[in-house]
Structure 1
Amino acid sequence: MKFSANLGFLWADRPLPDAVHAAHAAGFDAVECHWPYDTPAQEVKAALDATGLPMLGLNTRRGGVAVGENGLAALPGREDEARAAIEESIAYASVVNAGAIHVMCGFGHGDAAHATFVNNLRFACAATDKTILIEPLNRHDAPGYFLSTTDQARAIIEKVAAPNLKLMFDCYHVGRNEGDVTTRLGALRDIIGHIQFASVPDRGAPDHGELDYAHIFAALADWSAPLGAEYKPGGDTDATLGWMARSRG
């Protein structure tokens, strides 16, 4: 089983290139990130080249973080900003050779938000041959986020009907919002582009909590791509990595 370190949470106290090196030293097979834009892409590429780790993906910008925004793609009237963020993420991903871009939709509801999201996703999918990901966020951590369930995500993916639009299945978000994680993993395999994980409910390392990751990882034994460790270490990342050796054991 292969694992990717999400550097939005793991080694987040280090500059991004240093975090790439730390992930390599810890034995991860890949890395991924949230919003790398404050670090020049060439610096990240140099760290990736030096370690041989692939960058799996990154997120589009959230918008006005100071005013609580968490994505732009489902906000009516903000299409120009949303598409500029998509183009920026494609350009950055092209330099670091990231295979996927998570387009963040933001807070909203209703038909106008749905139509705006669908149109912006069509724009993103047409603008690149990279995988475009959408991710439902749970209602506890992100109340009011437009995309909150895997059923909603499937309907949007089918509506957009682009071959490079896929679901980011985060076991943590699905576990908190919907439950029945392994059944949903099986039912959604045809549209999943990336899988992430963390403990439920505290979003810590996958060695405690409500989800049995030994069971979940066994159900994913035939998943060939790295699984994304997107958990909050709550301190020194290296001290939390015992789960990885046990999962590969």
Structure 2
Amino acid sequence: MLGRKYFIFVFIGVFVSEEFAIRGESSKKSLWPIKFPVKLSDTGKTIYYSIEKLHPSKYDDAAVFAAQHLKMNTSSPKMCWREELEKNISVVIFKPGTQTIIGLNILDIRESMCKSNFVCDRIFDKFPVDKYLTSEALAVDPNYRRHGLGEALLRVHVTICLEQHVDVTASLFISDSSNRLADRLNYKCLDRMSSESLAEMKRDDPEKFNDCTEITCKYLTYNDVKPKAFCTIM
């Protein structure tokens, strides 16, 4: 089991199945790939990206990408990330026209029967659900940041919930930028790490947490999800 304090994101959302029939396509219909445009502020150029389900043939490439861009407290990060990817639910963004990974969201579905002290598992106490979608980690190639890829990978949780018949998507925000993104998408705070605990984490891993001012567990209820978040990203 991976050390939870190294996870990059945790997202929480609650959705009503009847509304999916109104706002989205039938879950029996393939929703992939999900294409979205991004207009670059510096050049004004529009680039079209797409989010795809990660195919098993790309597990090794994705594990290498994760090991390069995500910190993990283990001597074999590639092997550990590969084990997470083999759950066969993660999504990826490739550089347009190539098979080069530039964005990755490593996903899992946690069940109440495996409930632990992990802060996001408190969702089972807050809502009458027996499972939720969580992101073990989300990473974007530094050369493609500020292209909206992180936001797109976060928004796609709604689509995954629709496809997988999961009523809740949940997880942890450990950077100031991810917290701002969550607020922009109407996420609400379920829990917040104490200043004492955050100070301890900064002492243990200053490179990772020194610039972080808060670590939160946030959630999003169905009523707070914007209609355009369903099935398509933009």
Q: Which has the higher contact order (CA 8 A, sep 6+)?
A: 2
Under a length normalisation based on structure 1, what TM-score does the superposition of the two structures give?
0.30
